[in-house]
Chains A and B, each alone.
Chain A
């Protein structure tokens, strides 16, 4: 478990970028945090690092949005953005076809409100917990299972 403190929305976005820098494909990121914590902001950062030009908008309404990535130097071809805000179990996500993407080596799956769909997430998932800090705009971000990501860094 690694802890980060961000002091602004910009810094949260930058942390998302930093995380995505280490993605190798197939990662499943579960985000946990209240309304307004900054889950979508972190995913916007990841999308930026992954070279997605399209605006990442909230998937709350349609539950899942798929963004394709056009980068010949990377094997990552898709970012799947899921919002489990109003779901009771992972079964709902299976029904909308998440299994087509989850854990595929060319896909990054980011799931907001992951605590609601724990039942379908594999052990290898990376869990990001975001809490409000003491000061306004401050966030305390805890990330588990980061080792799997840093490995790439040490290999280089």
Chain B
């Protein structure tokens, strides 16, 4: 095959507290394409923000500025010899923290101008979805229902093809990941909440049926695809307010974690399955930072497989659930492919048009 026929995409992601860059190779194969991750560099700031129980915008921006160039440079070291520069640059333009987004966007614009290479602004949420389309059988995906769950989002999206996203449900208050964070804060067990709660729940083991209290499953029976997690947080607050002395009891804290996690998983799984049935989807996609949660992966997979063995369950490997730039490059490929040749050629000057939007919707 002609070596130059493949496409290399440089992905850049700085929407929150990870400074990330990736180099993705898209190789034509039969009628479709094959994706190869050449490099995937993620520099996390979690340790900086842990002591504050969340991301501090000004510190995040400073850390991004310090890391962005070394991260991109280390990515480009693996550039195939046949090419000196990537064919396309992709950067997250939203949603996210404005001060963080700006670092990636301004860097990408500069590279696009200096290298004279096309630039695409990518919706971070579409990145979380697109990373699922990089492997396996591409035939039986659509229609698909995607559950996107992270620290800032909990959304159900219906897809009819690679570029058509229709939001059918979302959280009415807190995101699932935010609920994990806030419950962890109430229990005083650390940040980020998702991994700590999942770990504590795991230590509690399979004795979940022995838990004497129960937490609500907000909106689980409501006839729509929306979520609500604020009430769950308040229920945990009431539960521990009554028995503050128990916060030093390891078993009690583990039990609260196990029940909180199960409540969140129950609601997410139930609403997703309802959507899969209603729209008779050919696949169910789970993605976003919270998709790294083992119980959620396991239980949703089980439900999808029990519904119909013909329905595919797609979930990224854990390292591609949390924020990364591979997903941004992947989303860029599908967006790029959907453009006409003229539109593709115009992207060289696109850097002037790209704007950050912290509240960008899918």
Whether the pair B359, A66 counts as a contact (CB closer than 8 A) is yes
- Stretch of A17-25, A82-90, A119-127, A142-150 lying at the B interface: A82-90
Compute how far the CA of A135 lies from the CA of B171 in the bound complex, rounded to whole angstroms. Answer: 28
Asked whether any CB of chain B lies closer than 8 Å to the CB of A65, the reply is yes
Whether the pair B358, A62 counts as a contact (CB closer than 8 A) is yes
Measured CB to CB, the nearest residue on chain B to A96 is: B98
Asked whether any CB of chain B lies closer than 8 Å to the CB of A57, the reply is yes
Whether the pair A55, B170 counts as a contact (CB closer than 8 A) is yes
B244 CB, min distance to chain A CBs, angstroms: 13
Known contacts A35-B237, A95-B58, A63 near B97 by CB under 8 Å: yes
A60 CB, min distance to chain B CBs, angstroms: 6
Compute how far the CA of A98 lies from the CA of B66 in the bound complex, rounded to whole angstroms. Answer: 25
As a 0/1 sequence over residues 209 to 230 of chain B, the CB contacts with chain A under 8 angstroms (1 = contact) are: 0000000000000000010001
Residues of chain A within 8 A of B178, CB atoms compared? 58, 60-61
A115 CB, min distance to chain B CBs, angstroms: 16
B268 CB, min distance to chain A CBs, angstroms: 16
Measured CB to CB, the nearest residue on chain B to A61 is: B152
B103 CB, min distance to chain A CBs, angstroms: 13
> Number of contacting residues on B, CB 8 A?
35
Whether the pair A57, B170 counts as a contact (CB closer than 8 A) is yes
Asked whether any CB of chain B lies closer than 8 Å to the CB of A136, the reply is yes
Whether the pair A86, B54 counts as a contact (CB closer than 8 A) is yes
Compute how far the CA of A22 lies from the CA of B241 in the bound complex, rounded to whole angstroms. Answer: 36
Measured CB to CB, the nearest residue on chain A to B234 is: A36
Residues of chain A within 8 A of B172, CB atoms compared? 55, 57
As a 0/1 sequence over residues 78 to 116 of chain A, the CB contacts with chain B under 8 angstroms (1 = contact) are: 000000011110011001110000000000000000000
Compute how far the CA of A64 lies from the CA of B238 in the bound complex, rounded to whole angstroms. Answer: 28
> Number of contacting residues on A, CB 8 A?
27
Whether the pair B174, A92 counts as a contact (CB closer than 8 A) is no
Residues of chain B within 8 A of A88, CB atoms compared? 52, 56
Asked whether any CB of chain A lies closer than 8 Å to the CB of B96, the reply is yes
Whether the pair B56, A86 counts as a contact (CB closer than 8 A) is yes
Measured CB to CB, the nearest residue on chain A to B177 is: A61
- Select one of B57, B175, B185 contacting A95, CB under 8 A: B57
Compute how far the CA of A95 lies from the CA of B237 in the bound complex, rounded to whole angstroms. Answer: 32
As a 0/1 sequence over residues 149 to 164 of chain B, the CB contacts with chain A under 8 angstroms (1 = contact) are: 0011100000000000
Measured CB to CB, the nearest residue on chain A to B236 is: A36
Residues of chain A within 8 A of B237, CB atoms compared? 34-36
A51 CB, min distance to chain B CBs, angstroms: 18
Residues of chain B within 8 A of A65, CB atoms compared? 359
Whether the pair B238, A62 counts as a contact (CB closer than 8 A) is no
- Select one of B56, B152, B182, B185 contacting A92, CB under 8 A: B56
Whether the pair B55, A62 counts as a contact (CB closer than 8 A) is no
Compute how far the CA of A133 lies from the CA of B290 in the bound complex, rounded to whole angstroms. Answer: 34
Whether the pair B233, A36 counts as a contact (CB closer than 8 A) is yes
Residues of chain A within 8 A of B359, CB atoms compared? 62, 65-66
- Select one of A58, A91, A132, A136 contacting B173, CB under 8 A: A58
Closest 9 CB pairs of A and B: A61-B152, A86-B54, A36-B234, A36-B237, A58-B174, A96-B98, A62-B358, A55-B172, A92-B57
27 A-B pairs, CB-CB below 8 angstroms? A34-B237, A35-B186, A35-B233, A35-B237, A41-B230, A55-B226, A56-B173, A57-B170, A57-B174, A58-B173, A58-B175, A60-B54, A60-B174, A60-B178, A61-B97, A61-B151, A61-B178, A62-B95, A62-B97, A62-B152, A63-B97, A66-B359, A86-B55, A87-B56, A88-B52, A92-B56, A96-B99
Known: A36-B233, A57-B175, A86-B56. 20 other contacts (CB 8 A): A35-B185, A35-B186, A36-B237, A40-B230, A55-B226, A56-B173, A57-B171, A57-B173, A57-B174, A60-B54, A60-B174, A60-B178, A61-B175, A65-B359, A86-B53, A87-B56, A91-B58, A95-B58, A95-B99, A96-B57
Task: Give the A-binding residues of B (Cβ under 8 A).
Answer: 52-58, 61, 95-99, 151-153, 170-175, 178, 182, 185-186, 226, 230, 233-234, 237-238, 241, 358-359
